[in-house]
Amino acid sequence: MRESSGDRITRIGISFLLLLISISCLAPVINILSVSFSGKQAVETGKVLLWPVDATLQSYSALFEGTRVLASLWNGVVMTVGGVIISMVFTICAAYPLSKGYFYGRRTFTLLLLFTMVFTGGLIPTYLVVKSLGLIDSYWAIWLPGAVSTYNMLIMRSYFESMEPEIEEAARIDGCKEWTLLFRIILPLSMPVMATLILFYGVGYWNSFMNVLIYINSTEKYTITVLIQQMIASQSLLTEALVNDSQAMLLVPEGIRSAGIIVLILPMVLIYPFLQKYFVKGVMLGSVKG
C-alpha cells in the first residue's frame, strides 16, 4: 500500500519530534561525561558543553583513590543481584499459579495483590515492621518489603497465560509434574519476559536510594547511589577526595561529581544492550492479556 503525502508528513513530523526528545535526554548525560573528562580551568570557566576540553582522567583518579566508590560499587552489586534473585523467585511463584484458571481462589488473590498497588501501609508502619523483624542495617530490609512488584507479577502472569495450552498438555502426557513443567518447559520459553523483569528489578535495586538511607545505618554498607548523593551534597567529602595538593590544583569538585555520576549509570548502560533484544518482545507479549 502506497504511503500518502499526509502520512509521510506525519511520519516525518513524529520522527523529528522523537529526535528532539532523544537529544534533550542525551545532552545532559553527554555534558556530564564531558565535564568528568575535562580540565579544571575549562570546567570553572564554563567552556565544556558536549565535548571534553583539556581531556584528563584526574577526576576519575581522585574518585577511586579518595572515596569509597569501589566498596560502594560492590555493595550495589550485592544488593542488586541478591534483590533480583529474590524478587524473580517470588514473582514467578506468584505469577505461575495465578495464570492457571483451575487455581482455587485465583480471583481473590489477584484482587488482594491489586489492592497493594493502590493502598500501602505507609513509611512509619513499614519501618516499625522491619525493625520488629530485626532487619535494620541489613539488605534484607530492602529485599523483603519490596520482593514482589505487583505490576511485574501481572506482566509475567499475562505472559504465562499467553502460552499455548497444548504445550502444557503435551508435557503432562509425557509425565511432567508441576515443578518439572515450570522449570523445564515454562521458564525456558519465558526468557523474553524474564529478561525484561530482571532489567526492571535490577534498575530499581541499583538506583535504590531512600530505602538505603532509611534502613541502612552503617556507612560501610552504603551503595554507590547514596555515596554519589553525599558527594553532591557535601563539599567536605569532595575535598577529602583530593588526596594531595597537586590534585587539588588540577581538579574542581564538579569534575569529581560528574565522574561519580558516570560510574553510577555505567553498569546499567553496559547491561542493557544484552537484554534489549528481549525487552520489547517481553513487554508486548506479556501485555496481550490482563
Q: What is the pLDDT of residues 44-66, one digit of tens each?
A: 777 888 888 877 888 888 788 77
- For range 29-43, the mean pLDDT: 84
Euclidean distance between CA atoms 152 and 201, whole angstroms: 9
The b/e string for 137-155 (b: 16+ C-beta within 10 A; e otherwise) is ebbbbbbbbbbbbbebbbb
Q: Rounded mean pLDDT of the chain?
A: 82
Q: Is there a contact between 34 and 51 (Cβ–Cβ < 8 Å)? A: yes
The b/e string for 70-79 (b: 16+ C-beta within 10 A; e otherwise) is ebbbebbeeb
Confidence of residue 289 (pLDDT cuts 50, 70, 90): very low
Whole-number pLDDT of residue 290: 43
- What's the residue count for the chain? 290
Whole-number pLDDT of residue 78: 93
**For 78-82, 242-246, 269-273, which range has the lowest pLDDT when averaged over its residues?**
242-246
Homologous superfamily (CATH) of 57-286 is MetI-like (1.10.3720.10)
| Residues 15, 17, 20, 26, CA torsion sign | negative
Q: Which of 108-122, 164-178, 239-253, 265-279 has the highest mean pLDDT?
A: 108-122
Which residue type, as a one-letter code, is found at position 254? Answer: E
Secondary structure of residue 281 in the 3-state scheme: helix
C-alpha cell at 32: 556530564
pTM to 2 decimal places: 0.81
- For range 20-48, the mean pLDDT: 85
**For 32-46, 140-154, 182-196, 271-285, which range has the lowest pLDDT when averaged over its residues?**
271-285
- For range 245-274, the mean pLDDT: 76
Domains of the chain, residue spans: 1-56, 57-286
